Amino acid sequence: MTEPIIQVKDVTFAYNAETPNPITALRNVSLDIMPGDYLAIVGHNGSGKSTLAKHFNALLQPTEGDVFVKGLNTKQIDNTLAIRSTVGMVFQNPDNQIVATVVEEDVAFGPENLGVPPNELRERVDWALRLTSLTDVRKRAPHLLSGGQKQRVAIAGVLAMKTAVVVFDEATAYLDPVGRDDVLDVARDMNSRGLTVITITHFMHEVLDANRVIVMEGGQIVMQGTPQEIFCRIDELRELQLDVPQTTDLASRLSKRVPGIRGNLLTVEETAEAILGAARARKGAVT
Ligand SMILES: Nc1ncnc2c1ncn2[C@@H]1O[C@H](COP(=O)(O)OP(=O)(O)O)[C@@H](O)[C@H]1O
Ligand SMILES: [Mg+2]
C-alpha cells in the first residue's frame, strides 16, 4: 500500500505557546496527503490554512501531535534539510520571494542551497525556466517583470529544487487573471507529471482542478471530499463565508426551478450541457 507523503497526526498549534496569551491556530488536525494528490485547502481568513501549510515543510512544528514528511518527523532538526528537499512552498507575494538580481540566479538559489552540484544545477535551472516559460527572460532583472512572471520565477525556483510536493499558499492572490491562469497551468502540469500539489486559494474555480478539498474553520478541518462533494453543500459553504464557483451557483439555482438540472455541476461545459438538455426536454414536452 502507498504511504502518505505527508502525514498530519492530531496536530494542535499555538502561536506564543509559552506566553500567557497563546493563540491557538490549529486544533486536533489530522490529514494524510498521498503522492500525486492535488489537494485544495479553503477557508476564510484566519482559519489556519497558512499555519497548516507551514507545518508541511517544518517552518513550524506542532505544539501537540506530529507531522511526518516521507516518514520523517518535522520536530527533529536533523530531518529539516530532507524535509525541505521534499516540500517546496510558493507564497502570496512574489516580491518577498525573490532574492537575486537576475532571473536565472534567483531560480538557482534554492537548489544551490540544497547542495546540488554545478552541472546538475545548470540543467535544473534550464528545465525549470522552460517549464515556466521564462527562458526568454532568464537574464533579466526579476523586479522588471510582471507580477505573473515574478510569481513564475518563484515557482521555477521551487521546481528547480525538484521537491516531490509543492505548496501554493495563495500564490495567485496578487496576480491579474492572466497571471493567475499562468500559475494554474504550471500547477496542473506539475501534477500531471506526478508531483503532489497543495493549493491554498480564495478563488473557488481554482479548486475544481483538485482531486480533494479540505475546508478549514477555526483551526479545524470541517469538511473534506472531492470538489463535487464539497460544492454541492452550498448552504454550509455560505455559512463558512465561502463562495462557490459561479457555475455551481448557477446550476444550484437552476436546479431549484428547472426539472432535470442537477445542483452539483462544476464546469462551464457540464452546466451548458445540462441547460441545453433541459431546454431540449422542455421543447419535446411542448410539441
Ligand atoms: N505569526 C503569528 N503570530 C500570532 N498569531 C498568528 C500568526 N500568524 C497567524 N496567526 C493567527 O493564527 C490564526 C490562523 O492564521 P493563518 O494560519 O494565517 O490563517 P489563514 O492562512 O487561513 O488566513 C489567526 O488567528 C491568525 O491571527
Ligand atoms: Mg494564509
All domains in the chain, ordered by first residue: 6-226 (3.40.50.300), 245-287 (no CATH)
Residue 130 dihedral angles phi and psi, to the nearest 5°: -65, -50
Q: Which ligand 1 atom is the nearest neighbour of the CA of 45?
A: 23
Atom of ligand 1 nearest to the CA of 47: 22
Amino acid 285: pLDDT = 66
Q: What is the pLDDT of residue 175?
A: 79
| Residue 134: pLDDT over 90 | yes
- Choosing from 11, 13, 15 the residue with most ligand 1 atoms within 8 A of its CB, the one to mutate for a pocket test is 15
Whether 275 and 261 have beta carbons less than 8 Å apart is answered as: yes
Helix (H) or strand (E) holding 108: helix 103-113
Confidence band (pLDDT; 50, 70, 90) for 286? low
The average pLDDT across 167-187 equals 85
Q: How far is the CA of 34 from the centre of ligand 2 (A)?
A: 22
CA-CA distances (angstroms) from residue 148 to 72, 130, 132, 178? 34, 15, 11, 8
Lowest mean pLDDT among 29-33, 62-66, 130-134, 251-255: 251-255
- Residues 48-75 have pLDDT tens digits of 999 999 999 999 999 999 999 999 999 9
- Answer yes or no: is pLDDT of 287 > 60: no
C-alpha cell read off for 131: 517549464
Atom 7 in ligand 1: residue holding the nearest Cα: 15
Query: Of ligand 1's atoms, which has the minimum distance to the CA of residue 52?
Result: 17
Q: Is it the case that residue 265 has pLDDT exceeding 80? A: no
Ligand 1 binding pocket mutation candidate from 19, 26, 51 (most atoms within 8 A of CB): 51
Q: Determine the pLDDT at residue 180.
A: 82
pLDDT digits (tens, 9 = 90+) for 212-221: 999 999 999 9
Per-residue CA distances from 15 to 18, 19, 68 (Å): 8, 9, 20
Q: Which residues line ligand 1 (CB under 6 A)?
A: 15, 23, 25, 43, 45-51
Distance 98 CA to ligand 1 centre (A): 23
